[in-house]
């Protein structure tokens, strides 16, 4: 009986040793700990086109891509893209000279009859892939005669300045005038000015 216990123990030890040795040589592919989630990429924002006449440099545009998060971990909530602020007219300034950024250098509401050019500098805020700014210049004396009606397309990704001008090679008639700015057909700003001597 002692002999059969020894033989059984010997066979069991031999079998266990063989199993251990055979397990050491196995090359099973490792199973992935987690499966990566799909990668989401934000589409690049189109570079805005400059306004037809004098748009100041807009803020730089960049694109981003969200990195993949493992499925096993809890994904952080994706922040929604900020809502694009619609294009609005922030300020209208009149003058007889503009700088390199198309801004009126000295605001005025009174001009001399021999002043050849009058500028309207329109500062806008917000974003637009394509909007239309219009400047309607009128002589208010008598029947409100139309002097000029100019439109410009504007595409911007931030603050910008668009300049309109009227010119008269002759003397301007004295009296009261008005410039009215419209954005996509809707009146958004107006300013009265006067042409007078001295």
List CB contacts of 48: < 8 A, sequence separation 6 or more.
58, 61, 127, 129, 155, 156, 157
pTM across the whole model: 0.57
Query: Which domain CATH number covers 191?
Result: 2.60.40.10
Instruction: Indicate whether 144 belongs to any domain.
Output: yes
Instruction: Indicate whether 48 belongs to any domain.
Output: no
Q: Which of 14, 5, 172 is nearest to 96 (CA)?
A: 172
Which domain range does residue 136 map to?
88-195
Instruction: Indicate whether 142 belongs to any domain.
Output: yes
Instruction: Indicate whether 24 belongs to any domain.
Output: no
List CB contacts of 16: < 8 A, sequence separation 6 or more.
none
CA angle 155, 163, 165 (to 5 degrees): 140
Instruction: Indicate whether 13 belongs to any domain.
Output: no
List the pLDDT tens digit at each of the 198 positions of the chain. 555 566 665 556 555 554 444 444 544 444 444 433 333 333 333 333 333 333 333 333 333 333 333 444 445 555 554 556 889 999 999 999 999 998 999 999 999 999 999 999 999 999 998 999 999 999 998 787 999 999 999 999 999 999 999 999 999 999 999 999 999 999 999 999 999 987
Number of domains making up the chain: 1
Instruction: Indicate whether 97 belongs to any domain.
Output: yes
CA angle 104, 57, 190 (to 5 degrees): 40
Instruction: Indicate whether 158 belongs to any domain.
Output: yes
- d(Cα 171, Cα 113) in Å, to the nearest integer? 5
Instruction: Indicate whether 78 belongs to any domain.
Output: no
């Amino acid at each position: 009986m002692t002999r059969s216990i020894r033989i059984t123990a010997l066979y069991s030890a031999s079998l266990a040793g063989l199993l251990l040795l055979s397990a050491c040589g196995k090359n099973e592919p490792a199973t992935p700990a987690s499966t990566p989630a799909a990668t989401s990429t934000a589409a690049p924002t189109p570079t805005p086109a400059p306004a037809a006449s004098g748009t100041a440099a807009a803020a730089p545009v960049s694109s981003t891509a969200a990195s993949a998060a493992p499925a096993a971990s809890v994904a952080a909530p994706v922040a929604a893209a900020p809502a694009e602020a619609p294009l609005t007219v922030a300020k209208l300034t009149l003058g007889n000279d503009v700088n390199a950024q198309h801004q009126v250098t000295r605001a005025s509401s009174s001009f001399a009859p021999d002043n050849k050019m009058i500028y309207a500098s329109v500062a806008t805020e917000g974003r637009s892939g394509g909007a239309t700014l219009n400047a309607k210049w009128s002589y208010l004396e008598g029947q409100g005669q139309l002097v000029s009606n100019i439109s410009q397309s504007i595409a911007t990704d931030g603050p910008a300045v668009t300049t309109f001008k009227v010119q008269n090679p002759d003397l301007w008639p004295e009296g009261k005038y008005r410039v009215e700015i419209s954005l996509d057909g809707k009146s958004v700003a107006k300013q009265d000015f006067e042409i007078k001597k001295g």
